[in-house]
Every structure is written in C-alpha cells, then in structure tokens.
A and B are shown apart, each in its own frame.
Chain A
Amino acid sequence: MKKALIAVMLCITLLLTACQSKASEPTKQSTVVFYFDTVVTITVYSDDEEILVGLDEECLRYENMLSKTVEGSDVWNINHANGERVAVNEETRNLILTAMEFSRRSEGHFDITIEPCMALWDFTSEDRGTLPDASELAAAAEKVDWTKVDVNEEGVLIPKGMSIDLGAIAKGYISDRIADYFIEKGVESALLNVGGNVRTVGLKPDGKNWRIGIQDPEGVRDQSIVGVVDLHGNSVVTSGIYERGFTLGDVVYHHILDPNTGWSVQNELAGVSIVAEEACTADALSTTVFTMGLEEGTAFIENFDGVDAIFVTRDGDISWTSGLDDLFSPSR
C-alpha cells in the first residue's frame, strides 16, 4: 500500500513541477533604439534585469566609430586624411580587413571604396528622383578600387580622392557584437533587428526555430512575404531594389551600385536574402550576391561554406540554395 501511496505522491509532484518549469521561462525584455539612420529592435529572454543596460551607449559608440557622416569617426578621419595614414580603433581596422576579404573572394563585387559614387546619388531625400551627371559618375567610378586600401598595425591609408563607406557591412557587424554580448551573459534566446539585419541567438524560448518572414521585393507596400525561413542562432539579411531608390520611366534606380560603373545594378534580381551564422557575413554577401546576378550569385553561394541564399527575380520567381531545402518555406 505504501508503494501506491508513493506512486500517487510522485505523480502529483510531477504534475506540479511540470507547471513550475513552464513558469520559469526567462523573462522577455525588449527595447528599441534609433541609430545608424535606422531602428534597432532587441528582444532578449533573460532574468538578468541589467541585460539591456548600456546597449544604448554601445550603439552610440559604434555609430561614432563607423559612421561616415559623424565628424571625427574613424571612417570620417580616413576619408578626410588627404592620403595620410590614420590611426583607428582596432575594431574598425578588423572590420575593414573583413570587408576586404569579401572583396577578394568576390573579385571586387563588394567594395567599400564605392563611396565617391554613392555620394553623387540621392536615394532618400524628399527631392530624390534625379540622376547624377554621367561624366561625374564615370570619374567617381575610376576612384573605386578596394586593392588601394592599405591597412597595417599603424592604421589605415587610402589614396587622396578616395573614400570608404562601411554601410554595407557595419549594421551586420554591430548585430553580431550585441549577440556576442548576450551569449557572454549566458542568454539562450534573443532576436535582434538592426535596420533589417536579423540576428538570432539560440532558439525561441519554446525550443523551436525562429521563423523569419522574407520580404517580397514587389510587395513592399503591403508588407507581403515570399516565404518564411527557420533560423537557429544565425542571421538573415536582405538586399533589394525596394529599400531605397526611385523609378524613372521603367528603370528602378536603387542603392546597390555596380563598383565598375557607379550605376545602380540592373539585372534580373529584385532581392537577395543571405542566411549565415554571422550577420556581418550575411550583410556583406547580400550586396555582393545582388551585384553578381542570379546565376553567378547562386554558384558563388553554393561554394561558400555555411552560407545560403534566397533569390527573388523581378519576374517574381523564387529560388534558393541547397542548404535551405529543409528550412525555407516559400509562400507561393
């Protein structure tokens, strides 16, 4: 009889503890801050009440280091050094080296020295809609050459007249640093979005994958998606013609520029999403692969370890690389 009693008590204990464990899921905390000309949303599951303290300042520190428009930032200093070498923060130096590695691997499809061309375009202001002067743009494109960026222990040197812009990689890099901070603090579940750069930490608190909708480049007005991708501890970044730009006649002029000509890339693609472990990689490669086009881009990513891509053409066709076969669910 005692055995029966013990069994009943064990069952009751189990029932009660089962409820307990659900109640002890870490607390959801979230914040929204505005930096890098965009919005940063952070959702973190943690019982550490201090976990979000200081993130605001950290974002500000990165903005003051990596923004090309903030006077006195590392990038601003490099761009205003008239051909002199500039001492920079170690993080800036390493990020520039990372960017150059993407340039090398993509044979120049990714290039941080595109800035002189970018400076001639206006994709964002109220008055946007005019094209840059063709000869000025051609002259600016002559200055684009990532191989001239000289990085050593003392700092960074670029030839006079050249300038750099880390905009195609910095947001991803910063997402990774925030994710690292959370992982260091023992966080097992978090979701960051830095201006469209989505970075996850671990799984959702319920132990399932994060499900992230991929923007339909043609459906920007109604926020429709081309499908949903499952993520666990990694990142997805989308580049597309819908983000910033304008239409003249039937040509969409958008912010992804061809490093050879300085003109908006015109190929069959409307959008590319990259899934990679690090948002920095996904950020840089989304621009890179967009510039390459569908065929070359697909081959490039299939040969890139740990990275996958989803392509949406201007005709609305959706394709993806083999690593996503089980993780991407197209919605049409």
Chain B
Amino acid sequence: MKKRDVIIISVFLAVAIIGLIAVKLFAPVGNISYADIYVDSSLYKSVPLNNDAVITIDQGDGKINYVEVKDGSIFMADSSCADHLCVTQGKMNPQNYESRPMRNWIICLPNLVTVELRIE
C-alpha cells in the first residue's frame, strides 16, 4: 500500500468518526420525551417528562387545569371542568400511548386544554 493511500484512508476514517461523534452529540438527546400543552389552539408550554412537575393552567375565568408529570408519565391531575373526562384519561407515556384510545393526546374539551405527547 502506498503511503499516500494510507494517508487518504486515515483522513477519511478520521472525518467519518468525527462526523459520527458530532451526529451523536448534536442530535436531540434521544431519551427525553416531551409533551406540548395547548390552550384553545395555542401552544401554552412544552414540558420534558424526565422532571416531575405540576403545571397549573389558570385561564383566569374559572377554568383551571393541573397537568402533572411523574415518573416519566404525564396526566391531568385535576380540572375545574364538570365531567372530569380529562382526568379519567389517565397516564400517558411513550411506552403506552399506542394502547390508549386517545393515543398521544389528553383532552379537556370543556376547558379547551390539550396535552400532546411528542412521539417522533
């Protein structure tokens, strides 16, 4: 093998390895899932599912929803709506969404509050 060939191959390999490392580094951190909370049709807040939290959505007209993140799942902990169907929609996470009738959504129709689990 000529010396020049070795150099060219080495350079290519180096570029490829650096490229792969860069892709790994700059790719969205794969294991954190997010959920987007909407009020009416506008994005209210995006929340990561790796931090336990309670998000209060107070629309100022008596409509209040409490969205909770716990142990990697997101759910409607409480709501000011009358039917509480949103609360009964239960916990949602990247592992269970395909076996939920509402899939990657939690919806409070009376208060126009929706939570969408990002699934890409």
Decide whether A and B assemble into one complex. Answer: yes
Residues of A at under 8 Å CB distance from B? 1-2, 4-5, 8-9, 12, 15-16, 19, 25, 28, 30-34, 38-39, 41, 56, 126, 191, 193, 205, 211-215, 220-223, 225, 228, 331
Best-buried of A32, A126, A228, A331 by chain B (most CB within 10 Å) = A32
Q: Does B25 contact A (CB under 8 A)?
A: no
Given known contacts A1-B1, A223-B88, A223-B90, is B101 in contact with A213 (CB within 8 Å)?
Answer: yes
Residue of B nearest to A331 (CB): B99
Contact with A along B81-94 (1 / 0, CB 8 A): 01000001110000
Q: Which of B4-12, B47-55, B65-73 contacts A (4 or more CB under 8 A)?
A: B4-12
Task: Give the top 6 A-B pairs by smallest Cβ distance, nearest first.
Answer: A215-B101, A12-B16, A32-B114, A28-B120, A211-B98, A223-B90
Would you give the shortest CB distance from B55 to chain A, in whole angstroms? 17
What B residues does A12 contact at CB under 8 A?
12-13, 15-16
Given known contacts A8-B9, A39-B114, A213-B103, is B41 in contact with A56 (CB within 8 Å)?
Answer: yes
User: A30 CA to B2 CA in the complex, in Å?
Assistant: 56
- Contacts A5-B8, A15-B16, A41-B107 aside, 16 further interface pairs with beta carbons under 8 A come to A2-B5, A5-B5, A5-B9, A8-B13, A15-B20, A16-B19, A28-B119, A32-B107, A32-B114, A33-B41, A34-B109, A39-B114, A213-B100, A223-B89, A223-B90, A225-B100
Given known contacts A39-B109, A223-B90, is B12 in contact with A213 (CB within 8 Å)?
Answer: no
Would you give the shortest CB distance from B106 to chain A, in whole angstroms? 10
User: A218 CA to B114 CA in the complex, in Å?
Assistant: 24
Would you give the shortest CB distance from A92 to chain B, in whole angstroms? 26
Residues of B at under 8 Å CB distance from A? 1-2, 5, 8-9, 12-13, 15-16, 19-20, 23, 36, 38, 40-41, 82, 88-90, 98-103, 105, 107, 109, 112, 114, 116, 118-120
Contact pick for B102, options A4, A28, A30, A223, CB 8 Å: A223
What A residues does B16 contact at CB under 8 A?
12, 15-16
Given known contacts A1-B2, A56-B41, is B12 in contact with A9 (CB within 8 Å)?
Answer: yes
Would you give the shortest CB distance from B21 to chain A, in whole angstroms? 12
Would you give the shortest CB distance from B80 to chain A, in whole angstroms? 14
Is A225's CB under 8 angstroms from B2's CB? no
Contact pick for B41, options A8, A34, A220, A223, CB 8 Å: A34
User: A212 CA to B9 CA in the complex, in Å?
Assistant: 49
User: A39 CA to B112 CA in the complex, in Å?
Assistant: 8
Would you give the shortest CB distance from B63 to chain A, in whole angstroms? 13
Complex A-B: 16 CB contacts under 8 Å? A4-B1, A8-B9, A8-B13, A9-B12, A16-B19, A19-B23, A28-B118, A30-B36, A31-B41, A32-B38, A32-B41, A32-B105, A193-B103, A193-B105, A213-B100, A223-B90
Is A39's CB under 8 angstroms from B107's CB? yes
User: A295 CA to B12 CA in the complex, in Å?
Assistant: 68
Given known contacts A31-B41, A56-B41, A193-B105, is B99 in contact with A225 (CB within 8 Å)?
Answer: yes
Is A223's CB under 8 angstroms from B100's CB? yes
Would you give the shortest CB distance from A216 to chain B, in whole angstroms? 8
